[in-house]
Chains A and B, each alone.
Chain A
């Protein structure tokens, strides 16, 4: 159980592939459906990220905005999210789950109370999109104290000097943003350039698990398989949107998509 995020990377490495990480929004499109989606795709996942919906998401593209909107329309609350995580962990105790959201949701709830709730419900890690270094130092410490992995982000605009500082204060996983964009846009850079940025990070501290996210789709995923992990978010959210529009079952469609993604990296 302990350090299940590290463990997930170890397993993937032993199978000579990147860890596959999903991002969906908790409560999209309903509470139950979002849990069903997570459960059904989790077999092919190494780590699951669950978004905490917020109605002012300044770093998300259209797809994740749509997912968040649906979840909020259906009345998702923070307390629901914690109980859904608990339910998920009951059936899949070794599958790491990371909550991802905007700082306002944590600030409003209270940092300490939030982390306690995370711990009690089995959350393994946290990504806070708009709480960047060095403003996140105290919060990251608080996470560590409670055995929760605080995932730092590194962007293409991050200088090497800053990168070093971020890596120094990071926990077992680092999230590299592939391209200057919000979530879900097309990759603006060549694969070569993205891998080059990735290698810069890895060279600073080879032991950290670095995952690449933003713009990862069925088309791009296999080209980036040399990374420690790859996050697919908007592409999955888009599939949920499409399924709902076509009156199909998002649960089966999403697990099919994730199976396909997995097949491209093994």
Chain B
């Protein structure tokens, strides 16, 4: 079993080749990319220690993204389920509607620092694409978003937003026409344009530096949560932190500050989509998009196709950092089907005022399964990491309505 290092940020627990636990991650990329990613690594290591840069980041988080996102108890749901107390960290309240806002903003800031004028990113659900488009506009960068054609049609509101913000949306028509193909195409674009383009990978995946930047950015969520918990409870109570996992960027941000806690004190639970669930179905380790990770493949080693109603979860791989958390036993992973996610949305929106997108609906589904089995003193916190409006059409198709 892999052992985690205490008091070392999770993203920094890699060896000099970029491997976590000598097993996950690495830099499996074309020679052409080596120098640009090395330059980016150096820049990032400098910036994360640079007070002026951190101040700038905080300024953007506060004034551009709207500052701290709310943390509140869901009284009705708690009562209805009759077990643990259920709390919501409502990251979807951020300007930008999802945790991707942090990561997109930081990438745009880094791009600016690097002196590059172009920024390119991949997107599945369109949350990263939309936020990157916004950040690029704000910082005067030219932005290209790569998106599978299947996702372009199922996440149309976000696509419209990206185009209105002045980004070029590049449709990707290869393979399954979803996120996995968008990431591949975006990486190809980078291989061809790495001299003038900054690559913003949409999740905590890819070569070492990309997942580091991502998880570093989203960790804002757990910094806030820690303070909010202490404010509410006077201490860090016995907790279960439930988060949906696609690539895994929101969970890493939601959990970051709690990694060093004993798992009996703060339990970390990741919820994948049932047919895109490498972590919870014992998939093999495979190399995808530059890193070794738990990933769905066929016998021959070809990357498998996945199926999820949720575009953001429709991805065969998972962050190498989740491989590390799984193998060290620090986090546990489960999954929820489309049907279960939809049922969760139905119940949550009937009882509460939040409107989760399909992605966090998977986390809510696990919360609903778990809460009745627990005691009143147990605290469940769910990261409500995305707003539901983008899935309005899908919800109406599936449930016949979208709540007010």
Contacts and interface: CB of A to CB of B under 8 A. Distances in A.
A65 interface: yes
Contacts of A162: 34-35
Most buried by A among B184, B195, B288, B300: B300
A79 to B, nearest CB: 9
B193 interface: yes
Q: Which 9 A-B pairs give the minimum distances between C-beta atoms? A: A108-B301, A155-B32, A104-B287, A157-B35, A59-B30, A153-B31, A155-B31, A181-B192, A130-B28
Nearest to B317: A56
A134 B27 CA distance: 10
Contact of A130 (B174, B180, B287): B287
Interface string A92-115: 000000000011110111000000
A28 B319 CA distance: 33
B297 A60 contact: no
Interface string A71-107: 0100001100000000000000000000000111101
B290 interface: yes
B187 A55 contact: no
B175 interface: yes
A134 B175 CA distance: 31
B247 to A, nearest CB: 15
Interface size class of B (residues with CB under 8 A): 35 or more
Interface in A2-26: none
A159 interface: yes
30 contacts: A54-B302, A56-B303, A58-B187, A58-B191, A58-B290, A59-B30, A60-B188, A61-B188, A77-B300, A78-B300, A78-B301, A103-B28, A103-B287, A104-B303, A105-B300, A105-B301, A108-B284, A108-B300, A131-B28, A133-B31, A134-B17, A135-B26, A155-B34, A157-B33, A157-B194, A158-B31, A158-B34, A180-B195, A181-B32, A182-B192
B35 A132 contact: no
Contacts of B286: 104, 107-108
B181 to A, nearest CB: 8
A227 B115 CA distance: 35
A125 B281 CA distance: 37
B192 A180 contact: yes
Interface residues of A, number: 40
B288 A104 contact: yes
Most buried by A among B29, B31, B301: B31
A181 B194 CA distance: 9
Interface of B: 17, 26-36, 174-175, 180, 184, 187-188, 191-195, 284, 286-290, 292, 297, 300-303
Given A65-B174, A102-B287, A130-B29, 14 more contacts: A55-B175, A56-B175, A56-B303, A59-B32, A60-B188, A104-B288, A104-B297, A104-B301, A109-B301, A131-B28, A135-B17, A153-B30, A157-B34, A158-B35
Interface of A: 54-61, 65, 69, 72, 77-78, 102-105, 107-109, 129-135, 153-159, 162, 177, 180-182, 185
Given A77-B300, A107-B301, A135-B17, A56 B32 contact: no
Contacts of B187: 58
Given A77-B300, A104-B301, A135-B17, A57 B34 contact: no
A85 B180 CA distance: 31
B159 to A, nearest CB: 23
A158 B30 CA distance: 11
Given A58-B184, A130-B287, A177 B31 contact: yes
